[in-house]
Structure 1
Amino acid sequence: REELVRVLDLCFKDQSLTYTISDKTIVVKRKQELPASVVNAPVSEPLPPPDQKGKVTDAKGAPMADVSVLVKGTTRGTVTDANGNFTLQVNNGDVLVFTFVGYGSVERKVDGQSAITVSLKPVEQAIEEIVVVGYGTQRKRDLTGSVSSVKGEDVANQPATNPIASLQGRVPGLTIANSGVAGASPVVRIRGINSTNSASPVYVVDGILHDNIDFLNAADIETIDVLRDPSSIAIYGLRGANGVIAITSKKAARGQTRIQLQSSVGIQTVQDKIKITDAEGFKKLYNAQLANLGAAPFDYTNYTANTNWQNLVLRNALISSTNLSVSNTGEKSTTYVNIGYTDQEGVLRNNRFKRYLVRLNEELRFNDKIKVGGGFTGYHSINNPAAASISNALWAAPIVPIQQDATTYYSMPSFQRAQVGNPIAALNRNNGNTVDKQYRVIGNLFAEIKFLRNFTWRSTVYADLVFDNTRSYTALPFSFINLGENGAPTTTTFDNAARTSVSQAQNESSRFQQDHTLSFDKTLGNGHVINAVAGFTTIYSRSSSLSGSRRDTSINVPNDPDFWYLNIININNPISNAGGGSENAIAGGFARVGYNYKGRYLLNATIRRDGSSKFAPKNRWGTFGSVGAGWVLSDEQFFAKVKKINFLKLRAAWGLTGNANGFADNLWRPGIQNASTAVFGDNIYSSVQASYIPDPNLHWETVKGIDVGIDLRAFNNRLNAEITYYNRTTTDILTSVTLPNETRGYFTNLGNITNKGIEVNLGWTDNLSKDLSYRVAANFSYNKNVVNSIGDNFNFSIIGNGGANLTTSGRSIGYFYGYRQTGIYQTTADIQKSAAFANSLPGDIAYADINGDGIISPADRGYIGTPFPPYSYGGSFGLTYKNFDLEIEGQGSAGHKIYVQRRTATFAVLNYEANRLNAWTTPGSTNVEPILDNTRGNNFLMSTYYLEPGDFFRIRTLQIGYTFKKDVLSKVGIQRARIYLSGQNIKTWSKVTGYSPEPLIGSILGGGADNGAYPVPAIYSFGINLTF
C-alpha cells in the first residue's frame, strides 16, 4: 500500500489531477481551482435546503467521496462530496441508486425522511487481487495458472499453533491432515502425491524457502498464496515439484503509529472417544476367549476394579495465544515489530508445547529510487512430548485398579503384563522427563535500486539457523502390586532399569540463500504491457546431529533438569552414542516474461536452470520451464451484450519442474556401514561394508504437467467461479532396488506416477440491506493417482507397513493390499463347500476367491482401498449484521479407507473394542465379527475386515464476533475492538471408530494406519482483538 501511494504522489505531483484511494479502488478527478474573484467574493446568504440530504459511508463508517447518486429511471443525479454528503432535488416515491466502483450498489426509496444514510460494502473481486508468484507479484486477472489466496485475517483468529492448519477446507486441491499433538505441524499435500520420496510443498516466506513455518505466527501473516499449476511453480525449479505455499508477512502500514493486540484462550476436549469394554464386558469376553481355547476361566477374585484408562490419560487441555504488534511509518523509514507467545497443552496428559516469537521488519528509503531493509525472526520453543502412548490406555485391562500410593501402582494381569504396563504409572514416571528446546534465528537483508524508469535491481541475502537440544531422563521404576490369580497380592518391580539413565541429542542446521533479480515493467502504446524478471539464486544447507546416553550402575541421577547431562555419570558406565551430518547446495538462474494486450490477451513464460550437489557432476544440471496463455473473453466487443457476466477468462498452462527432495545427499557416491566382527588370533576386529551400490547416473525426478481452467465473475461480481483441470506426470522416480542374493540395494531412476483431477471453487457475496450482508463459498477437488510404472522390467513392487500397503504399476501409490472379507464361516460344511484355507475353522473370516482356483491363498490378495482421499471438499457461510458477524466452515473428504491396525490387538490378550462384543459364538450368531481366539492366525491377515470407510464431514469452525462501535471506543483511546467466541472441530459425521476420520497421510508408502493415533480435539475459545 505504501509503495502504491508513493508512486501515485510522484505521478500526480504538479498535475491538474488529484486522486483518492477507497479500499482497492483509485478515483482520479480534476482539481477544482476557483478564480480569485470567486474566492474573494463576499459570502452570500445560504440557499434554502434541498429537497433531500444524505450521507454515504463505507462498511467501516468512513465517508465516501464521489459516489454516484442517481434517480432511478432518469439521468438526474449528483456525486457525494469529500465528507460523503450529497443533496439532490427529488420527489416522494423516487428511488435513489448509489454506485461506486468496486462496491455493491444500493437502492433507497424516498419517502419524506429528512436524511438518507447509506453504507456501501466492497464486493470482493479476486480478478483485481495481487498475488505472489515466483520472485515477484502479479494481478490475479493476468494469471494463466491456478493460485488461491487467503487473507491473513482469515487464519489469525483460529486456535492453531501452525497457521497452515487453518487452511483446511479453504483451498481446492490442498489436503491437510492435522494432529492433536501439542505444537505439531500438519501434513500438507497439494494435488496428490508425485513421488515415492517426498510429497510436501515448499514454503516461501518473504522470498525465503523453508521446509516448515513453525516459526511464524498467524497474526504476522498478510496473505497466503497457494501455487499449484506449472506456470506458477516452474520458476522454483528443483524445489517446486510438490507445489508452493507463498506467505507475505505484515509490514508497517502508511500512517500513524499503530498498536495491535490479539489474544485468545481455549479449551481442547476429545469428543469422540474409542468405544472399549468396561470391566464386566472384558471379563465376559476374556473368559469366552479362554473357553474357545479349551482353558479354564480366569479367577477374577482379586480384580474388582472398573477402570477406564482412556478417560484417565486424556484431559481437557488449555490452549492460549497472545500477540502484540507495533507498526510505525516515518518520512524515510517503516518499522514493524511483533511479539508472540503460544502455550498449548496436549489432550494426552503431560504433553505440552510453548513457543516464544519476536519478529522485526525494517525498511529505509534514501530517496524514491533506493531503499534498503531487512527482517529478523527469533524463535524459541519448549516441547514436553507425551510420556506414554494412547494405545497403552486402550489395551490395558479395565479390571485393574490404578495405584495404592504415590510410588506403588497395580500391575496388569499376568496374561498381558508383557505387552502392557499401567498407563498412569507410565505417565507419572516420565512426567516432563523429556525436554526438547529449539532456538531458531532467521534474518534477511536487501537493497533495491530503480533506474531507467522501468528497471529495478534487488539483491537479498538470507540466513536460517536452527539449534535443537533434547534431554531425557529415565527415573527410578515404581513398585507394582501383582494382584495375582490365587492367594495374596505381592509387590515387586517390573522394570529392568534398576538405575536412572540420561540421554542427550543435539541437532543443528543452517541454510543460507541469496537472490539477485532484475525486473522490468513497461506499458507500451496501444495497450501493450510487458513485465519481466531475471536473476540467479544459490542455497547452501548443512545439518549435523550428535546423541548419547548413559545409565548409572552405582548412583542415581536426581530428577532435576540441571543434572540431566551425560557427564554427570561416570564415563565407564554403560554408554551409547551416534552422530551424523549432511550438506548440499543448489544454484540456479531463472527468468519470467509476462505480456498482455489491453488486459485481454495474456502470455506468461518462465525458464530455470538448476544445479544440485545431490547428483554426480555430469548429471547435476537440469532445465525447467513453463508457458501459459489466457484470454479474457469478457473484454471482447462481441461479449458486451452479455450483461450478467462481468468477467470471463480462459487459461491454459504447461510446465516442467524437477524434484530433488526427500532422498539423501550423494547417493551417487559409495556409502559404508558397520558389518560383522571377526576373530584373528586373540583379537576381535570390526568390519564395514558398502551400505548401497552407488550409481553415478542418478538425476533429478521430472514433473511435467498441464493446467486448463476458466475464471468467472457474474451478477454484478457477486458470483465467483473457478474451474480447473490438471494432469501432471512424474518420471524417473528415484527408487531403492534390492538385488537378488544381496542384502544391499542400489538407487536408480525408475517409475512413473500420474496425478490428474478437477478443482472447483465457487463464491457468492451479497448485501441484503445496509446492515445485513452474507457470503457463501464452496470448493471441491478430485484427484486420481496412478502409478503408471515402477520397475516393470524387474517385476518390482514397494512394500509398506509390513505388507499392509503396496505400490505397484496400475494402481494408486501405497494402496492397501490384502484379502476381501465375504463373511464368517458358520459351519464345517460351509468351509467344505467354499474356497478356504486348509486350516480354516468355523468362526474364522471368510475370504473371496479372487483367482477362482477353489482355495484361498496369497494369490487372492489384491487392491482393497487407498489411504489417500480422491475427493475433498469444503464450504463456508458468513453473515454480517450491523456489528455482529458469524462464520461457519465445514470440510470433508471421501473415497479413502482407514486401516484400523489397533484392532489386531483385540485378537491378543489385551482389552477389547466394543465391536468384539458381537464376536462369533455359534452358527448364525454373526457374519461380521470372527471368533474370540488369538490362535486363529488366518484372522490376523490384512483384509477388508480391518478397513473402515474414511468418508467424513466436519463442522470445522463456528465463530460469532462483535465489533464495538467507534464512538464508544474513541472515548477510551481504542481505534477498533472485536471479541469473539469460536468452536473448532465441533461436530463430525463419520463411520470411523477411531478418534478422528482425517486421512492419515503422513507416510507415502505406508499411510492410513490407525494404531491408536493421537486424538484431534474440539477447541472452544474466546478471543479479543484491539487496535490502538
Structure 2
Amino acid sequence: MKTKTKQLLFFMMLLPVFIFGQNVVKGTVTEQSTSIPLPGVNVIIKGTTTGTTTDFDGNYQIAANNGDIIVFSYVGYATQELTYSGQSNLNVQLAEDAAQLDEVIVIGYGTTTRKDATGSVEAITAEGFTKGNIVTPENLINGRIAGVSVNTSGAPGSGSEIRIRGGASINASNDPLIIIDGLPIDNKGVTGSRGVLSSINPNDIDSFSVLKDASATAIYGSRASNGVIIIVTKKGKSKFSATYDTQYAFGEITNTVDVFSADAYRQLVASQPINGTTINENLLGNANTNWQNEIFRSTVSTQHNISMQGSLFKVLPARFTFGVVDQEGALKTSKFERRNLSLALNPTFFEDHLKVNLNVNFSFEDNRFGDAGQIGAAMRYDPTQPVFDSTSPFGGYYQHRNGNVVANGTTNPVASLLQRTNLGDANRLFGNLNFDYKFHFLPELKAVLNIGYDRTSSKGFNSTDPLQATTDPDILFKGTFNKNSQERTNELLDGYLNYNKNLDNIGLDFTAGYSYQRFTNEGVNGRNITDPLSVDDFYADPDVVLIGFFGRANVSLNDKYALTLTYRRDGTSRFSKDNQWGNFPAAAFAWSISEEDFMKDSNTFSSLKLRVGYGITGQQDIDQGGIFLNRYRGGIANSQFQFGNQVIQSLITSEINPDLKWEETTTLELGIDYGLFNNKVSGSLNLFQKNSTDLLFVAAVPDGANFSNSIIQNIGELQIQGAELSVNTDVIKNEDWKIDFNFNATLLDREVKELALGQDVRTGGISGGTGNNIQIHREGEAPNSFYVFKQLYDTDGRPIEGAYADLNGDNVINDNDRYVKENPGANAIFGFQSNVFYKNFDFAFNLRANLGNYVYNNVQSSRAQYELLLDNAVLGNIPTSVLDTGFQRTADVIISDIYVENASFLRMDNITLGYTFSDISKVLKSVRLWGGVQNVFVLTNYSGIDPELSGIDNEVYPRPRTVLVGANIKF
C-alpha cells in the first residue's frame, strides 16, 4: 500500500512536467496562391491521435512538444509536415496538389473520387482542356475522352454534334444530357442562335465530368441513355485577383471542290456534246472567275475575356467575368458575335455548415447567317461570266437573264449572299441558386436544394434587296422581309438529402431526392412585312414536364470493395397517363485489387481496380410533345365552309398514338482502372454493350389506320458494343521539364437487331433526282447503312455508266439488286494529346483519327456528269472528277457504290507554343504570350472537302485553317 502511495505521489509530482512541458501552438492555414484562409484543415501530431481542425477563418490551436512533427492535410492540397521547435505561432500555406484535385469527380447529385468511383466516369479539368481557337465549350474536350466525339462545322460559332459511345437511338435524340452547375439544359435551340452551347463562354468553365455507363447515368433516368456531360463553372475566391485573356485569329480556306477553270471550261464546252448535240459556244463569257474564291474570304476574329475574383464586403467570395467574341465566317456575310456576363457568389454561413452558391450568366448572341446553299451554287456557276455587270438591273451583278427576270439556272452566288440580310439575335439568362446545409446536430447529414432557370429569347429577320434577281415577275424589284421570334424557358427544382458516415472499415453514403423540371416554347413564325395579307403566325408547344424521384446507396468495405445501387422513377408529360412513368435501376460493384495484401508491395501496380456495372436508362426526347392527345390543325385558306353568311375555316385531325412509351437502354459494362509505376502511367479499359429497345421511330402505318401515313411508334432494337482504352502518362516531371501524353481509343460496333415486322426502313435523302434515298435501316446491319448498286467496270478499270451487278441473278437490274455497303459510323476513334513544359515555355498539340467511317459523296454524285454542263439553256460548271468517270447522266449513276468512299482520317486540330513572363511586379503576376494554328492538317483518301461528316456530303461549310496569337495577363 505504501509503495502504491509513493508511486501515486511520484506521478503527481511529474504531472506538471508533462503538462507544462507541452506548449500551445496557434496559427493560420491559408492557400498558397491566394492567401485565402482554409477551413477544415486537419492538424495532427504525427504518430499520435492528438489533432484538431482549422475554423472558418483558417485558425487552429494545438498542444505540442519540442520535436513533434505537426501534419497539415486538406483535400486537394499537398500535405505539409513541420517540426515544432518552440514557436508560439506557426502559420502554414498549403499548395494545391493537381493530382489530388484530379481525384475529385463531379457525378449526379454529388461528388466522388477516382478511387471510390464504381461507374465509368471521366473528368477533365482546365489544365487538360484542348487548346486553340475555342469559341464554344464542347470543343474543350474534343479528342480528350475515350468514347466521346465532337464534330463541329466551319460556320462561325456553330453548334456541334456530340456523341458518347455512338448514342443509343436511331430516330430519337442521340445528344447527351448536358448539365451546367446542376441545371440540365434543353438540347433544342432557338431560331437566331447557332446552338444550345454557343451562348456559353468557355473561359468560365472549370471542369467537365462525362458519365458514360448506365450505373453512372441512371441517377438521371429518363434522359441518360446517350450519356451525361456535367459542366462546372469557376467559383469565387476570397483574395482579389484578375485575369485578361485576348486572342486574335486569322483564317483561310485551304480546300475547295475541284471544278473546271474558265479556260478549261471553254475547252470542255467546245469538245463535249450533250445528248449528241454540240453546246452553243455563244453562251460562254469572256471572264475568268473562280466562284468559290469569290464567295469565301480571309477572316479576322477576336476574343477578349476579363475575369475578377475577390471578397465583396470582405466576407463574400465572388467572381465576375466579361467576355466578347467577334468571329467572321469564311463564307461572306456570315458572322458570330457574343457578349457574356457572369457572376458567381459563394458565401458560407453558420461555421461552414451552410454553403450557398449563386451562378448567374447573361449572354447576348448576334448572328448574321450566310446562305450555305451558295456553296453549291458557286460550284455550278459558269466560270466564264463576271461577278459584276454594269448593265445589270440587279444591283450591278451579272445574272443569266431573260429580259428583267433570271433565266433558268442558278443565280449569281455572290449577289445572293450580299443582297440578303439574315440576322438572328438570341439573349439568354441562365443560372442556379444552390443551398447546401450540413445539419448541426448531425453533421453526417446534409440537405441540398437547387433552383435553376434558363430562358432564351430570340428574334430574327430575313430580308432581300429589292434589286435581288428573281425568276418571278410578280415579285420583281420588291424584295422580301420576314421576321420571327421565339422564347424557350427551362425551370428546375431539385432537392435531396445525403448521409455520409464512416463506421470503422465501412463507408456509407446515401442520397435520396426529388426533381421537377418544366420546358416551355412559344413564338411567332414567318410574317412577311411586305405582304399586307400576311398575319402573325403564333405558336405555343405543349409544356414538357419531367418529374423524378431518385435514390443512391454507396457502401464500401475496407477501402477494397464498393457497391453502388441507384434507382430513379421518372414521369414525362410527353406520354399518356398509362405510359408516362418509367423505372430506371442500376447497380455497380468495384474491387480495389491493389489494396489487397498480395498487391500492396507491388512495384508495378500503384492502383488497380475492377468494375462491373448494369443499368437501365430512358429516352423520351421526341419532337411532338403531345402526340398522345387529340389534336387539330387549321386547314389552308381555301379549305372553308359557308354556313349562311358565316365562313368557317376547316380543322384537320392530327395523328395520334396513345400507346407511345419510353425507349429504354440497358447497359452492361466491365472496366479496369489502373495506375502503374507510382501512377506515372494511368488510365482505364472498358468493355460495354448497350441494347436500346422500344425504339422511338417514325414509321409507316397502313392507309386509314391513323390520320397520317407515318407516325412515331415504339419499334425495334439497337445494339452497340464497344471497348475503350485511355492512357495518361507523365514522361518527365522535374523542376525544369514536364512532358505528358494522353491517348484514348474507342472501338464501336452497331447493329439493328429488330425492326417492326422485319421490314427495311429507307432513309438518307440526297440531292440529284426526286425522292432518292441512299441509306437504310435493316436488321443485322448498322443503322444508316448505305444502300447502293454494285458498280461494274470495263477492262481498263473505268466505271461503266449505268452498269450494275445483277446480285440476285434474275437478269433484271432493279431495287432488289441494291446491297448494303458500309455505314457512316467509325469503327475506331482515337485521340492523342501532349503538353510539354520547359521552364517558362509551353507547347501542346492535339491529334484525332477515325477509322472505318464512310461518306456518300453527294457533291460528286449529283454534279459530276456531262449533261449538267447545260441546265435549261444555261451553262453550269461541274467537278473535274467527271474526267475520271466519263459519266453523262446523273439519273443513271446516282445510286452507284462508286460514291461511297472510305473517309478515315488523321487530323491535327491544333498546335500551340507559349512563353510566360512571371513575377513581373507586385501588381502584375504574369504575362503569357502564345501562338498557334487551328486545323493544321488532315490526312485522308476521301475526295471531298471534309471526311468528318455524318454520312452524306452535300455542300459542306469548310473549316478554315486559322493562325492564332494571344496573351494571358494575370494581376
TM above 0.5, yes or no, is yes
Is 1:374 aligned to 2:335, yes or no? no
Alpha-carbon deviations, 1:735-779, whole Å to 9, x = none? Answer: 233223344334321111111100011121132653122112211
Is 1:937 aligned to 2:897, yes or no? no
Task: Give the aligned partner of residue 995 of structure 1.
Answer: 945
Structure 1 residue 395, shift from structure 2 partner = 1.1
Alpha-carbon deviations, 1:866-910, whole Å to 9, x = none? Answer: 122221111122211111111121001121111111221232233
Matches within 5 A, 1:79-478: 124=99, 129-155=103-129, 157-195=131-169, 196-210=171-185, 211=187, 212-253=196-237, 255-289=238-272, 291-300=273-282, 303-329=285-311, 332-368=315-351, 369-387=353-371, 389-405=374-390, 407-412=395-400, 417-430=407-420, 433-451=421-439, 452-478=442-468
Check whether the contact 2:762–2:773 (CA below 8 A) recurs between aligned residues. no
Task: Give the aligned partner of residue 633 of structure 2.
Answer: 673
Check whether the contact 2:205–2:233 (CA below 8 A) recurs between aligned residues. yes
- Alignment partners' CA distance in 1, 2:179 and 2:472: 53
Is 1:905 aligned to 2:905, yes or no? no
Structure 1 residue 515, shift from structure 2 partner = 0.7
Q: Give SS of 1:371's match.
A: strand
Check whether the contact 1:900–1:1009 (CA below 8 A) recurs between aligned residues. yes
- Alignment partners' CA distance in 2, 1:260 and 1:160: 18
- Alignment partners' CA distance in 2, 1:376 and 1:137: 22
Q: Give SS of 2:53's match.
A: helix
Structure 1 residue 950, shift from structure 2 partner = 1.0
- The residue type equivalent to 2:38 in the other structure is V
Structure 1 residue 270, shift from structure 2 partner = 1.4
- Alignment partners' CA distance in 2, 1:132 and 1:670: 43
Matches within 5 A, 1:798-837: 798-801=762-765, 802-823=772-793
Structure 1 residue 680, shift from structure 2 partner = 6.5
Check whether the contact 1:408–1:478 (CA below 8 A) recurs between aligned residues. no
- Alignment partners' CA distance in 2, 1:8 and 1:225: 26
Task: Give the aligned partner of residue 967 of structure 2.
Answer: 1024
Check whether the contact 1:824–1:844 (CA below 8 A) recurs between aligned residues. no
Alpha-carbon deviations, 1:408-462, whole Å to 9, x = none? Answer: 22224889952311111112211xx121011111132232321112011111211
- The residue type equivalent to 2:677 in the other structure is F
- The residue type equivalent to 1:797 in the other structure is V
Check whether the contact 2:792–2:800 (CA below 8 A) recurs between aligned residues. no
- The residue type equivalent to 1:945 in the other structure is I
- Alignment partners' CA distance in 1, 2:408 and 2:328: 31
- Alignment partners' CA distance in 2, 1:260 and 1:868: 42
Structure 1 residue 611, shift from structure 2 partner = 0.7
Check whether the contact 2:842–2:913 (CA below 8 A) recurs between aligned residues. yes
Task: Give the aligned partner of residue 831 of structure 2.
Answer: 874
Task: Give the aligned partner of residue 11 of structure 1.
Answer: 53
- Alignment partners' CA distance in 2, 1:761 and 1:157: 19
Task: Give the aligned partner of residue 695 of structure 1.
Answer: 657
Q: Give SS of 1:964's match.
A: strand
Q: Give SS of 1:425's match.
A: helix
- The residue type equivalent to 2:522 in the other structure is S
Q: Give SS of 1:727's match.
A: strand
- Alignment partners' CA distance in 2, 1:201 and 1:601: 30
- Alignment partners' CA distance in 1, 2:734 and 2:451: 51
Is 1:544 aligned to 2:522, yes or no? yes
Find 1:731's aligned residue among 682, 690, 693: 693
Structure 1 residue 14, shift from structure 2 partner = 3.4
Deviates more, 1:516-525 or 1:331-340: 331-340
| Distance change >3 Å, CA 871–CA 495, structure 1 → 2 | farther
Check whether the contact 2:118–2:589 (CA below 8 A) recurs between aligned residues. yes
- Alignment partners' CA distance in 2, 1:230 and 1:299: 66
Structure 1 residue 576, shift from structure 2 partner = 7.2
Check whether the contact 2:431–2:452 (CA below 8 A) recurs between aligned residues. yes
- Alignment partners' CA distance in 2, 1:589 and 1:349: 50
Check whether the contact 2:863–2:879 (CA below 8 A) recurs between aligned residues. no
Structure 1 residue 792, shift from structure 2 partner = 2.4
| Distance change >3 Å, CA 145–CA 373, structure 1 → 2 | closer
Find 2:79's aligned residue among 7, 27, 32: 27
Check whether the contact 2:130–2:144 (CA below 8 A) recurs between aligned residues. no
Structure 1 residue 28, shift from structure 2 partner = 5.7
Matched-pair identity in %: 24
- Alignment partners' CA distance in 1, 2:930 and 2:358: 35
- Alignment partners' CA distance in 2, 1:474 and 1:249: 41
Check whether the contact 1:824–1:845 (CA below 8 A) recurs between aligned residues. no
Check whether the contact 1:170–1:874 (CA below 8 A) recurs between aligned residues. yes
Task: Give the aligned partner of residue 1009 of structure 1.
Answer: 952
Alpha-carbon deviations, 1:301-321, whole Å to 9, x = none? Answer: 761211100011111112211
Listed as ranges, the gaps of 5+ residues in structure 2 are 1-29, 43-51, 55-59, 65-69, 188-195, 766-771, 870-875
- Alignment partners' CA distance in 1, 2:93 and 2:455: 52
Task: Give the aligned partner of residue 613 of structure 1.
Answer: 573
| Distance change >3 Å, CA 821–CA 504, structure 1 → 2 | same
Matches within 5 A, 1:463-502: 463-478=453-468, 496-502=475-481
| Distance change >3 Å, CA 7–CA 423, structure 1 → 2 | same
- Alignment partners' CA distance in 1, 2:309 and 2:282: 69
Task: Give the aligned partner of residue 914 of structure 1.
Answer: 880
Check whether the contact 1:175–1:188 (CA below 8 A) recurs between aligned residues. yes
- The residue type equivalent to 1:626 in the other structure is A
Structure 1 residue 338, shift from structure 2 partner = 0.9
Task: Give the aligned partner of residue 936 of structure 2.
Answer: 986
Alpha-carbon deviations, 1:603-657, whole Å to 9, x = none? Answer: 1111111111111112111111211111111111111342121111111111111
Structure 1 residue 152, shift from structure 2 partner = 2.3
Q: Report the TM-score when normalising by structure 2.
A: 0.85
Task: Give the aligned partner of residue 486 of structure 2.
Answer: 507
Listed as ranges, the gaps of 5+ residues in structure 1 are 40-64, 66-80, 85-100, 103-121, 481-491, 551-565, 831-841, 919-928, 1001-1007
Q: CA RMSD in A?
A: 3.0
Structure 1 residue 346, shift from structure 2 partner = 0.3
- Alignment partners' CA distance in 2, 1:469 and 1:35: 68
Alpha-carbon deviations, 1:774-833, whole Å to 9, x = none? Answer: 11221110111111111026x352433141111122111111111122325999xx9xxx
Check whether the contact 1:400–1:412 (CA below 8 A) recurs between aligned residues. no
Is 1:763 aligned to 2:722, yes or no? no
- The residue type equivalent to 2:653 in the other structure is A
Q: Give SS of 1:409's match.
A: coil
- Alignment partners' CA distance in 2, 1:798 and 1:419: 30
Structure 1 residue 493, shift from structure 2 partner = 9.6
- The residue type equivalent to 2:478 in the other structure is R
Check whether the contact 1:152–1:218 (CA below 8 A) recurs between aligned residues. no
How many pairs were matched up?
878
Task: Give the aligned partner of residue 620 of structure 2.
Answer: 660
Deviates more, 1:497-506 or 1:393-402: 497-506
Deviates more, 1:319-328 or 1:146-155: 146-155
Q: Give SS of 2:598's match.
A: helix
Structure 1 residue 387, shift from structure 2 partner = 3.8
Check whether the contact 2:300–2:328 (CA below 8 A) recurs between aligned residues. yes
Q: Report the TM-score when normalising by structure 1.
A: 0.81
| Distance change >3 Å, CA 1022–CA 16, structure 1 → 2 | farther
Check whether the contact 2:776–2:784 (CA below 8 A) recurs between aligned residues. yes
- Alignment partners' CA distance in 2, 1:223 and 1:1013: 32
- Alignment partners' CA distance in 1, 2:643 and 2:230: 64
